[in-house]
Amino acid sequence: MDLIANVSLLFTERPMLERLPAAIAAGFDGVEIQFPYDLDPVLLRHLAGECPIHLINAPAGDPANGDVGLSTDAGRVVGFREGIEVARRYAEVTGCRKVNVLAGPPPANQPEDVTRRVLVENVRALADALAADGRQVMVEMVNPTDVPGFFVDSLDKALALIAEIDHPAVRLQFDLYHVARTEPDLIAAIYRAGDLIGHVQFADTPGRNEPGTGTIDFATAFRVLRQVGYVGAMSAEYRPLGRTEAGLGWMQDLRTSLAGRGA
Protein backbone atom coordinates (compact mmCIF):
# COMPACT_ATOMS: atom_id res chain seq x y z
CA MET A 1 0.00 0.00 0.00
CA ASP A 2 1.45 3.35 -1.03
CA LEU A 3 1.08 6.15 1.51
CA ILE A 4 1.72 9.65 0.19
CA ALA A 5 1.87 13.04 1.90
CA ASN A 6 0.02 16.20 1.01
CA VAL A 7 2.97 18.55 1.43
CA SER A 8 0.76 21.61 1.35
CA LEU A 9 -0.34 20.59 4.87
CA LEU A 10 2.47 18.30 6.04
CA PHE A 11 6.14 19.23 6.54
CA THR A 12 5.28 22.93 6.56
CA GLU A 13 8.24 23.46 8.88
CA ARG A 14 10.31 23.48 5.67
CA PRO A 15 10.26 25.40 2.38
CA MET A 16 8.13 23.61 -0.21
CA LEU A 17 10.96 22.14 -2.28
CA GLU A 18 12.48 20.60 0.86
CA ARG A 19 9.22 18.91 1.78
CA LEU A 20 9.39 16.30 -0.99
CA PRO A 21 12.67 14.69 0.14
CA ALA A 22 11.53 15.08 3.75
CA ALA A 23 8.41 13.06 2.97
CA ILE A 24 10.46 10.24 1.45
CA ALA A 25 12.86 10.28 4.41
CA ALA A 26 9.90 9.98 6.77
CA GLY A 27 8.63 6.85 5.01
CA PHE A 28 6.08 8.16 2.53
CA ASP A 29 6.04 6.81 -1.03
CA GLY A 30 5.31 10.10 -2.80
CA VAL A 31 3.40 13.36 -2.44
CA GLU A 32 0.61 15.55 -3.69
CA ILE A 33 0.77 19.35 -3.86
CA GLN A 34 -2.35 21.47 -3.79
CA PHE A 35 -1.09 24.42 -5.83
CA PRO A 36 2.44 24.07 -7.24
CA TYR A 37 2.17 26.99 -9.65
CA ASP A 38 4.65 29.32 -7.99
CA LEU A 39 7.32 26.60 -8.26
CA ASP A 40 9.53 25.80 -11.23
CA PRO A 41 8.06 22.64 -12.81
CA VAL A 42 11.51 21.55 -13.98
CA LEU A 43 12.78 21.59 -10.39
CA LEU A 44 9.70 19.63 -9.35
CA ARG A 45 10.38 17.11 -12.11
CA HIS A 46 13.91 16.65 -10.78
CA LEU A 47 12.60 16.02 -7.26
CA ALA A 48 9.86 13.75 -8.59
CA GLY A 49 12.52 11.32 -9.75
CA GLU A 50 12.87 10.25 -6.12
CA CYS A 51 9.48 11.45 -4.87
CA PRO A 52 6.60 10.92 -7.32
CA ILE A 53 3.96 13.65 -7.46
CA HIS A 54 0.58 11.92 -7.63
CA LEU A 55 -1.88 14.83 -7.74
CA ILE A 56 -2.17 18.60 -8.06
CA ASN A 57 -5.19 20.90 -8.02
CA ALA A 58 -6.23 22.84 -11.08
CA PRO A 59 -5.59 26.59 -10.70
CA ALA A 60 -8.29 27.93 -8.38
CA GLY A 61 -7.97 31.70 -8.53
CA ASP A 62 -6.41 33.56 -5.62
CA PRO A 63 -6.78 31.64 -2.34
CA ALA A 64 -5.38 34.65 -0.47
CA ASN A 65 -8.49 36.57 -1.56
CA GLY A 66 -10.85 33.77 -0.61
CA ASP A 67 -11.07 31.90 -3.92
CA VAL A 68 -11.86 28.19 -3.59
CA GLY A 69 -11.91 27.38 -7.27
CA LEU A 70 -13.06 28.97 -10.54
CA SER A 71 -14.98 26.04 -11.96
CA THR A 72 -18.48 27.07 -10.82
CA ASP A 73 -18.39 30.77 -11.74
CA ALA A 74 -20.03 31.65 -15.07
CA GLY A 75 -18.16 34.95 -15.07
CA ARG A 76 -14.74 33.31 -14.81
CA VAL A 77 -14.91 30.61 -17.47
CA VAL A 78 -12.08 32.25 -19.41
CA GLY A 79 -9.89 32.17 -16.31
CA PHE A 80 -10.65 28.50 -15.72
CA ARG A 81 -9.95 27.59 -19.34
CA GLU A 82 -6.63 29.46 -19.23
CA GLY A 83 -5.78 27.42 -16.15
CA ILE A 84 -6.35 24.19 -18.06
CA GLU A 85 -3.19 24.69 -20.10
CA VAL A 86 -1.25 25.64 -16.98
CA ALA A 87 -2.38 22.48 -15.17
CA ARG A 88 -1.70 20.33 -18.23
CA ARG A 89 1.84 21.69 -18.53
CA TYR A 90 2.65 21.15 -14.85
CA ALA A 91 1.22 17.63 -14.95
CA GLU A 92 3.18 16.79 -18.09
CA VAL A 93 6.50 18.22 -16.89
CA THR A 94 6.31 16.75 -13.38
CA GLY A 95 4.84 13.39 -14.36
CA CYS A 96 1.73 13.95 -12.25
CA ARG A 97 -1.16 11.71 -13.35
CA LYS A 98 -4.14 13.33 -11.61
CA VAL A 99 -5.56 16.87 -11.44
CA ASN A 100 -8.30 17.77 -8.95
CA VAL A 101 -10.98 20.39 -9.64
CA LEU A 102 -12.35 22.40 -6.72
CA ALA A 103 -16.06 23.15 -7.13
CA GLY A 104 -15.98 26.10 -4.78
CA PRO A 105 -18.84 28.42 -3.83
CA PRO A 106 -20.50 29.99 -6.89
CA PRO A 107 -21.50 33.67 -6.98
CA ALA A 108 -24.32 34.35 -4.55
CA ASN A 109 -26.97 35.24 -7.13
CA GLN A 110 -26.03 32.70 -9.80
CA PRO A 111 -28.85 30.20 -10.52
CA GLU A 112 -28.06 26.61 -9.56
CA ASP A 113 -28.73 25.28 -13.05
CA VAL A 114 -26.19 27.74 -14.46
CA THR A 115 -23.64 26.72 -11.84
CA ARG A 116 -24.09 23.07 -12.67
CA ARG A 117 -23.86 23.62 -16.42
CA VAL A 118 -20.69 25.71 -16.10
CA LEU A 119 -19.08 23.16 -13.79
CA VAL A 120 -19.91 20.23 -16.06
CA GLU A 121 -18.55 22.02 -19.13
CA ASN A 122 -15.38 23.11 -17.34
CA VAL A 123 -14.60 19.65 -16.00
CA ARG A 124 -15.22 18.09 -19.40
CA ALA A 125 -12.86 20.60 -21.01
CA LEU A 126 -10.12 19.80 -18.50
CA ALA A 127 -10.68 16.07 -18.93
CA ASP A 128 -10.46 16.37 -22.71
CA ALA A 129 -7.13 18.20 -22.36
CA LEU A 130 -5.64 15.63 -19.98
CA ALA A 131 -7.09 12.39 -21.29
CA ALA A 132 -4.96 12.47 -24.44
CA ASP A 133 -1.94 11.79 -22.22
CA GLY A 134 -3.74 9.21 -20.10
CA ARG A 135 -4.24 11.55 -17.15
CA GLN A 136 -7.34 11.81 -14.99
CA VAL A 137 -9.46 14.57 -13.50
CA MET A 138 -10.78 14.26 -9.96
CA VAL A 139 -14.02 15.73 -8.61
CA GLU A 140 -14.00 16.20 -4.84
CA MET A 141 -16.77 16.72 -2.31
CA VAL A 142 -15.98 19.03 0.61
CA ASN A 143 -18.11 19.12 3.73
CA PRO A 144 -20.18 22.30 4.19
CA THR A 145 -19.03 22.88 7.76
CA ASP A 146 -15.42 23.43 6.70
CA VAL A 147 -16.25 25.34 3.50
CA PRO A 148 -19.76 26.84 3.60
CA GLY A 149 -21.27 27.18 0.15
CA PHE A 150 -18.97 24.64 -1.54
CA PHE A 151 -21.06 23.48 -4.47
CA VAL A 152 -20.26 19.75 -4.28
CA ASP A 153 -20.89 19.32 -0.57
CA SER A 154 -22.06 15.69 -0.37
CA LEU A 155 -21.08 12.32 -1.75
CA ASP A 156 -24.38 11.97 -3.59
CA LYS A 157 -23.85 15.32 -5.33
CA ALA A 158 -20.35 14.26 -6.39
CA LEU A 159 -21.56 10.93 -7.77
CA ALA A 160 -24.43 12.60 -9.63
CA LEU A 161 -22.07 15.19 -11.09
CA ILE A 162 -19.65 12.54 -12.34
CA ALA A 163 -22.56 10.69 -13.95
CA GLU A 164 -23.66 13.88 -15.70
CA ILE A 165 -20.14 14.72 -16.88
CA ASP A 166 -19.96 11.20 -18.32
CA HIS A 167 -16.28 11.27 -19.25
CA PRO A 168 -13.98 8.23 -18.93
CA ALA A 169 -11.16 10.34 -17.49
CA VAL A 170 -13.25 11.80 -14.62
CA ARG A 171 -13.24 10.07 -11.26
CA LEU A 172 -14.10 10.76 -7.63
CA GLN A 173 -11.56 12.12 -5.17
CA PHE A 174 -12.71 10.38 -1.98
CA ASP A 175 -11.51 12.18 1.15
CA LEU A 176 -12.32 10.03 4.17
CA TYR A 177 -12.41 13.11 6.39
CA HIS A 178 -14.93 15.06 4.31
CA VAL A 179 -17.11 12.00 3.69
CA ALA A 180 -17.09 11.02 7.37
CA ARG A 181 -18.20 14.54 8.28
CA THR A 182 -21.32 14.18 6.13
CA GLU A 183 -22.14 10.45 6.05
CA PRO A 184 -23.39 8.40 9.02
CA ASP A 185 -21.61 5.25 7.79
CA LEU A 186 -18.20 5.74 6.16
CA ILE A 187 -17.84 2.11 5.11
CA ALA A 188 -21.24 2.11 3.41
CA ALA A 189 -20.21 5.31 1.62
CA ILE A 190 -17.08 3.61 0.27
CA TYR A 191 -19.18 0.77 -1.10
CA ARG A 192 -21.59 3.30 -2.63
CA ALA A 193 -18.80 5.13 -4.43
CA GLY A 194 -17.23 1.85 -5.54
CA ASP A 195 -15.17 1.84 -8.70
CA LEU A 196 -15.71 5.55 -9.33
CA ILE A 197 -13.04 6.28 -6.71
CA GLY A 198 -9.92 7.57 -8.44
CA HIS A 199 -7.95 9.09 -5.55
CA VAL A 200 -8.08 8.84 -1.76
CA GLN A 201 -7.18 11.36 0.92
CA PHE A 202 -7.53 11.02 4.66
CA ALA A 203 -7.49 12.76 8.02
CA ASP A 204 -9.18 11.85 11.26
CA THR A 205 -12.45 13.36 12.46
CA PRO A 206 -13.52 15.67 13.89
CA GLY A 207 -10.31 17.70 14.05
CA ARG A 208 -8.74 16.87 10.66
CA ASN A 209 -5.58 15.73 12.43
CA GLU A 210 -3.44 12.58 12.41
CA PRO A 211 -5.01 9.10 12.31
CA GLY A 212 -5.63 7.97 15.86
CA THR A 213 -6.75 11.39 17.09
CA GLY A 214 -10.41 10.85 16.27
CA THR A 215 -13.07 8.34 15.31
CA ILE A 216 -12.17 6.79 11.93
CA ASP A 217 -11.10 3.13 11.74
CA PHE A 218 -8.52 3.60 9.00
CA ALA A 219 -7.44 -0.04 8.75
CA THR A 220 -11.00 -1.10 7.98
CA ALA A 221 -11.60 1.82 5.61
CA PHE A 222 -8.42 1.11 3.63
CA ARG A 223 -9.22 -2.60 3.45
CA VAL A 224 -12.70 -1.85 2.08
CA LEU A 225 -11.25 0.60 -0.45
CA ARG A 226 -9.15 -2.26 -1.81
CA GLN A 227 -12.21 -4.52 -1.84
CA VAL A 228 -14.12 -2.11 -4.08
CA GLY A 229 -11.21 -2.04 -6.52
CA TYR A 230 -9.20 1.05 -5.58
CA VAL A 231 -5.52 0.30 -6.17
CA GLY A 232 -4.01 3.80 -5.95
CA ALA A 233 -2.18 5.62 -3.19
CA MET A 234 -3.68 6.87 0.07
CA SER A 235 -2.80 10.51 0.71
CA ALA A 236 -2.36 11.95 4.20
CA GLU A 237 -4.01 15.36 4.03
CA TYR A 238 -4.29 16.39 7.65
CA ARG A 239 -3.21 19.21 9.93
CA PRO A 240 -0.43 17.94 12.21
CA LEU A 241 -0.97 18.67 15.88
CA GLY A 242 2.74 19.44 16.24
CA ARG A 243 5.83 18.93 14.12
CA THR A 244 5.02 16.60 11.25
CA GLU A 245 7.59 13.91 12.06
CA ALA A 246 6.52 13.81 15.71
CA GLY A 247 3.03 12.70 14.68
CA LEU A 248 3.88 9.90 12.25
CA GLY A 249 3.56 6.97 14.64
CA TRP A 250 0.31 6.03 12.92
CA MET A 251 2.18 5.04 9.73
CA GLN A 252 3.83 1.90 11.05
CA ASP A 253 0.81 0.99 13.15
CA LEU A 254 -1.43 1.22 10.08
CA ARG A 255 0.92 -0.69 7.79
CA THR A 256 1.25 -3.45 10.41
CA SER A 257 -2.50 -3.65 10.88
CA LEU A 258 -3.16 -3.85 7.16
CA ALA A 259 -0.47 -6.49 6.67
CA GLY A 260 -2.13 -8.59 9.35
CA ARG A 261 -5.49 -8.31 7.60
CA GLY A 262 -4.06 -9.12 4.20
CA ALA A 263 -4.82 -5.72 2.70
Residues known to be catalytic: 140, 237
Q: Closest Cα partner for 84 from 106, 67, 60, 113?
A: 60
Positive/negative CA dihedral, 192, 195, 197, 203: positive
Q: Closest Cα partner for 245 from 27, 15, 18?
A: 27
Torsion of the alpha carbons at 48, 49, 51 and 53, rounded to the nearest 10: 40
**CA distance to 109, 111, 121, 137, 209, per residue, from 163 (Å):** 26, 21, 13, 14, 32
